Amino acid sequence: MADKTVAVLGATGVVGTQMIQCLEERGFPVGRLVPLASARSVGKTVFFHGQDVPVVEATPDAFEGVDIVLGAAGDATAKELLPEAARRGAVCVDNSHAFRLEADVPLVIPEINAADIANHPRNIIANPNCATIIGLVPTWPLHRLAGLRRLIVSTYQAASGAGMPGLTELEREMGVIAGGGEMGDTSPFAYQLAANLIPQIGSFRDEGYTSEEWKMQNEGRKIMHLPEVRVSCTCVRVPVMRSHSESITAEFDRPISPDEAREALAAAPGVKVVDDPANLRYPMPLETSDQDLIYVGRIRRDLSAPDGVSSLTFWCCGDQIRKGAATNAVQIAEHLL
């Protein structure tokens, strides 16, 4: 297998840094790493394979000779630069929202629709939203068992989902509370997050749902090739450093018991069942951070389902920086080798 020249766009951010770490951990055949960032990051280095690699300014010419680009920048930067990289022959795996719903760009969770990776006419493959990945990895094996009809999802998303500014702001706020100081400006959050919950992530859109909430419906339909599946989602920012949690109620075409669900999930790639209420064992952010599996527990029958309707409720938790962003992108790249 020939080594690849791999560029990471947004290499100095939270996700970009994690992408570089995942490349090394997973033994991806990188012959040359090109860490790309804005001009203000030039002069910095990233650590890879025991060496400090200088950061390069992200310009179209920086993609010359690059085989694979892992995108960890925002929508505007992705729209500007990734088509330039693609025109120069690189295949781009992009973590932004810029291309996810475009018809000629595959949107991929490898545990679900890896076959879609082969058809990338624009040389761009989109990485889904982190909450979408965390929710769908355990939902997919249940769909294959019983046929998914409907999802009702509440997400409890960590501060680091807002990037490094979110993480540092929560740390600051906790320090202010501990010290009894004045809270002051809480950007990037609309309100104080420490000792609080904020039931809004993204801007409000149609029907009173936020942009983050629409992603679960629109992206899930595309990834699973289930255009008729119905989804209602509420996204909440919680004062947790890392790892998103989700409460999911799933309705199916055919009967499925909690025991059947546990068996299917235990055999599913990317999933770990932690479901032992008698011993107080269930997924939590502290246990799921800094690793790539989606933990699933609290699997139980949906008591609100009408007679004759098969519906289950479960809880899942996963690291949104790793599996929810960086590792998923590197897994996609592995299919390009």
Q: Is the dihedral of CA 150, 321, 15, 189 positive or negative?
A: positive
Instruction: Please report how the helices 14-25 and 163-179 are oriented relative to each other, as an axis angle in degrees rounded to 10.
Output: 110
Active site residue 316: no
Contacts 24+ apart (CB under 8 A), 224-231: 224/112, 224/113, 224/136, 224/140, 224/143, 224/148, 225/113, 226/143, 226/148, 229/148, 229/149, 229/150, 229/151, 230/149, 230/150, 230/151, 231/150, 231/151, 231/152, 231/153
Beta bridge partners of 277: none
Q: Which amino acid is at 88?
A: R
Given 22, 143, 244, 317, the catalytic residue: 244
Residues 178, 180: Cα–Cα separation, whole Å: 6
First-to-final CA distance of the chain = 8
Active site residue 235: no
CB 290 within 8 A of CB 314: no
Q: Residue 15: is it exposed, middle or buried by C-beta count within 10 angstroms (0-12/13-18/19+)?
A: buried
Beta-carbon contacts of residue 27 (< 8 Å; ≥ 6 apart): none
Look at residues 321, 275, 270 and name the one whose alpha carbon lies nearest to residue 298. Answer: 275
Q: How many CA atoms within 13 Å lie on the side-chain side of 89? A: 6
CB 63 within 8 A of CB 38: no
Given 130, 233, 316, 317, the catalytic residue: 130
User: Which residues are annotated as catalytic?
Assistant: 130, 244
